[in-house]
Amino acid sequence: MKRYGFLWMIAILLIGTMAACSDNSSSSSDGGSGGEGKIELFSWWTAGGESEGLQALMDQFKEEHPDIEIENAAVAGGGGSNAKAVLANRMQGGDPPSTFQVHGGDELLAGWVAADKMQPLNDLYEKNNWKEVFPQELIDMVSKDGNIYAVPVDVHRGNVVFYNKSVFEENNIEPPKDWNEFLEVAEELKSNGITPLALGDKNVWPSTMVFESILQANLGAEDYNKLWNGEIPMDDERVVKSAEMFKKVLGYVNEDHSARAWQDGSQLVADGKAAMNIMGDWANGYYKSKDLKPGEDYGWFASPGTEGEFQVITDTFGLPKGVENPEQVKEFLTVLGSKKGQDAFNPKKGSIPARTDTDMSKYGKYSTDTIKDFKNAKLTPSLAHGSAAPEQVVTKVNQAVNVFVTQQKVDQFIESLKQSVSSLK
Ligand code: GAL
């Protein structure tokens, strides 16, 4: 009996182990394609608002696909200032992340799509009926030659000024409607001992965003767009006028701007140590992550002279060629593009959803106002955030801005800008 008893024990152990495996396999039989590997979610979302949005999206995915492991592979550095270099190394080295953050527009299309690194996702769009729910402008920003290469998760607005409500009220300041009014307001604030404009351009792109806002005000949406296809040259007198205004505006920023990341600039406004901050509306997500109340602690307005215009920044994710588990990645992209996924992510990120059919009760006043603006505004592509021009052009413009911020030589700046866009003719 003893020998047989031992054999029974082995048998029970074996049956138990097989049952456990079959439990795992049963979860993959209900639609999940789980088990083979994990999803490495590559982004640069580590700052306040960004990390909360990302976590909410990952939680939604885990809820729908408990059998598929997902890893947060974020590389810190606002605007992708570090992540983009890491991504380029991995893509060129044949080691693509499962899926990665990339801006709709030229960053995706003239970059990874032109390099033939991305799988078309037309099947996913058909299966999920996404052509009915994403605005055509966004689908166009992720499409080339009839193929759709990414799923947009959000729409951010670039031409926004966030301001500290108490500072404005205590100094009896109204939002400036144009850049000359901005200078008047800034001079008054400065004379009252308050930093008028917070800037955190340790990574230069926040300064490029200030310059872009001035450019768009002076050229208007239609002609601003023509800067990026060579129709309007960088020595146009309105560009020179914008550089001269940019130089004046730089006279009203915090001294330590080059030591501050974007969120450290936004924090100056949160603390009432500065009045305004020109920043994409991920700053809305940042302020909310610090428990500031939109419309009470902070206000916002379109950057001077760009009322009725919307500088589009859209974060998208696609399917790189060569990943080991494309079906699992498509499961993630399906959640990312779903109403539940977008309504989990965007309220924390500070952005508006890419979808047009989401549950607006989940969004605060800033986002409901912004969704209306997005529907009615003239749209322009952001340069600093990868939509208006290929990455190599953005890099050169950032370098030109970086030199101008320190040396402030207008003629030199215009020459550098002409060089930067010479490939766009
Ligand atoms: C942008 C990105 C936003 C936000 C911002 C600051 O490029 O589109 O989602 O991450 O950088 O890091």
Domain segments of the chain: what residues? 5-154+314-374, 157-311+384-424
Q: What's the CA-to-centroid distance between 79 and ligand 1, angstroms? A: 5
- CB of 315 closer than 6 angstroms to any ligand 1 atom: yes
Task: With CA atoms as reference, report the closest residue to 332 among 72, 89, 52, 75.
Answer: 72
- Give phi and psi for 417, each to the nearest 5: -65, -40
Is the CB of residue 314 less than 8 Å from the CB of residue 383?
Answer: no
DSSP state of 268: H
| Strand 160-164 with 274-278, pairing | antiparallel
Task: With CA atoms as reference, report the closest residue to 387 among 92, 82, 159.
Answer: 159
Burial of 244 (0-12, 13-18, 19+ CB in 10 A): middle
Rounded Cα gap, residues 327 and 264, in angstroms? 40
- Give phi and psi for 66, each to the nearest 5: -60, -15
Residue entry with tokens 């351009």: 201
Q: What's the CA-to-centroid distance between 34 and ligand 1, angstroms? A: 30
DSSP state of 235: T
Q: Whose CA is nearest to atom 8 of ligand 1?
A: 315
Amino acid letter for position 197: L
Q: What's the CA-to-centroid distance between 4 and ligand 1, angstroms? A: 66
Continuous H helices in 30-142: 50-64, 83-92, 106, 122-128, 136-141
Give me the CATH topology for the region 157-311+384-424: D-Maltodextrin-Binding Protein; domain 2 (3.40.190)
Q: What's the CA-to-centroid distance between 327 and ligand 1, angstroms? A: 27
Give the largest CA-CA distance in the chain: 100
Could you tell which of 212, 282, 316, 382 is best to mutate to test the pocket of ligand 1, judged by most ligand atoms within 8 Å of the CB? 282
The whole-number pLDDT of residue 24 equals 38
Rounded Cα gap, residues 58 and 117, in angstroms? 25
Which numbered atom of ligand 1 lies nearest the CA of 386? Answer: 7
Whole-number Cα distances in Å, 214 to 75, 203, 240, 263, 304? 31, 19, 11, 21, 8
- CB of 285 closer than 6 angstroms to any ligand 1 atom: no
Which numbered atom of ligand 1 lies nearest the CA of 262? Answer: 6
pLDDT mean for each 10 residues of the chain (425 residues): 48 47 38 63 98 98 97 98 97 97 98 98 98 97 98 98 98 97 98 97 98 98 95 97 98 98 98 98 97 96 97 98 97 98 98 95 93 95 96 97 98 98 87
Give me the CATH topology for the region 5-154+314-374: D-Maltodextrin-Binding Protein; domain 2 (3.40.190)
Print burial letters for 173-187: b (CB count within 10 Å at least 16), e (below 16). Answer: bebbeebeebbebbe
Rounded Cα gap, residues 284 and 139, in angstroms? 25
DSSP state of 144: E
Q: Tokens at residue 244, please?
A: 């001269």
- CB of 313 closer than 6 angstroms to any ligand 1 atom: yes
Q: What's the CA-to-centroid distance between 162 and ligand 1, angstroms? A: 16
Helix (H, G, I), strand (E, B) or coil at 293: coil
| Strand 309-313 with 378-381, pairing | parallel
Helix (H, G, I), strand (E, B) or coil at 405: helix
The whole-number pLDDT of residue 101 equals 98
The whole-number pLDDT of residue 20 equals 41
